[in-house]
């Protein structure tokens, strides 16, 4: 039987929403207080869902020690207690660190190393979900 396992992790980070391709007025209209030049921050939650058949010996679809390690290396270490605009590679340029772009980037990073780590073809990265707050949440899947 196929299962869908979700692991959830928290990290605290700061960001500022500001698009260099828009005027100051457009930025304020679009992002409101999130456009504040000095930035602000959140206790983010990131949830990663993997899918696959259960191994009858281990009762697992994927080794959780390995999954935790990959997420720690690829996602938590570069984001935990960081300024996303200045320290997380994908957002140093013009890409705005909205929850939408952050979820997409987390999905992309994990996809990039997935096949190297989990060789078994049936084990898939199914979904990434980011909660900026409990009231603003973004999911990405393929």
Tokens of 102: 């952050």
Which one of the listed residues 81, 87, 89, 105 is annotated catalytic?
Answer: 81
90 binds its own copies (CB under 8 A): no
Of residues 13, 115, 3, 105, the one with CA closest to residue 61: 3
- Per the annotation, the verdict on 89 as an active-site residue is no
Min dist. Cβ of residue 25 to its own copies (A): 14
Count of residues near its own copies by CB under 8 A: 66
| 120 makes contact with its own copies (CB under 8 A) | no
34 catalytic per annotation: yes
Could you tell me the CA-to-CA distances from 132 to 5, 50, 57, 95 in Å, in that order? 21, 21, 37, 17
Minimum distance, C-beta of residue 116 to its own copies, in the bound complex (Å): 20
CB of 27 to its own copies, least distance (A): 9
Question: What's the rounded Cα separation, in Å, for the pair 106 and 128?
Answer: 7
Site string for its own copies, 15-34 (x = CB under 8 A): x-x-x-xx------xx-xxx
Q: CA 129, 107, 124: angle at the middle one, nearest 5?
A: 95
Residue pair 81/41 in contact by the 8 Å Cβ criterion: no
The total of other beta-carbon atoms located within 10 Å of residue 100's CB is 15
> Maximum Cα–Cα distance for the chain, whole Å?
60
Asked if 100 is an active-site residue, the reply is no
Q: Smallest distance, Å, CB 56 to its own copies?
A: 8
Q: Which residue has the tokens 């199914």?
A: 126
Tell me which residues are annotated as active site. Answer: 34, 81, 132
Residues interacting with its own copies, by CB under 8 A?
1-10, 12-15, 17, 19, 21-22, 29-30, 32-34, 36, 38-43, 54, 56-61, 63-65, 80-83, 86-87, 95-101, 103-104, 107-108, 133-141
């Amino acid at each position: 039987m196929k299962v869908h396992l979700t692991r959830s992790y928290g990290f605290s980070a700061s960001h500022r929403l500001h698009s260099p391709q828009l005027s100051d007025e457009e930025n304020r209209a679009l992002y409101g207080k999130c456009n504040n030049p000095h930035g602000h921050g959140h206790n983010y939650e990131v949830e990663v869902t993997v899918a696959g058949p259960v191994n009858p010996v281990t009762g697992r679809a994927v080794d959780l020690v390995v999954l935790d390690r990959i997420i720690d290396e690829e996602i938590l270490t570069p984001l935990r207690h960081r300024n996303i605009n200045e320290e997380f590679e994908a957002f140093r340029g013009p890409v705005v660190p909205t929850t939408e772009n952050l979820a997409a980037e987390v999905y992309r990073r994990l996809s990039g190393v997935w096949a190297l780590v989990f060789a078994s073809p049936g084990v898939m990265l199914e979904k990434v979900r980011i909660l900026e707050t409990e009231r603003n949440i973004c999911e990405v899947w393929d």
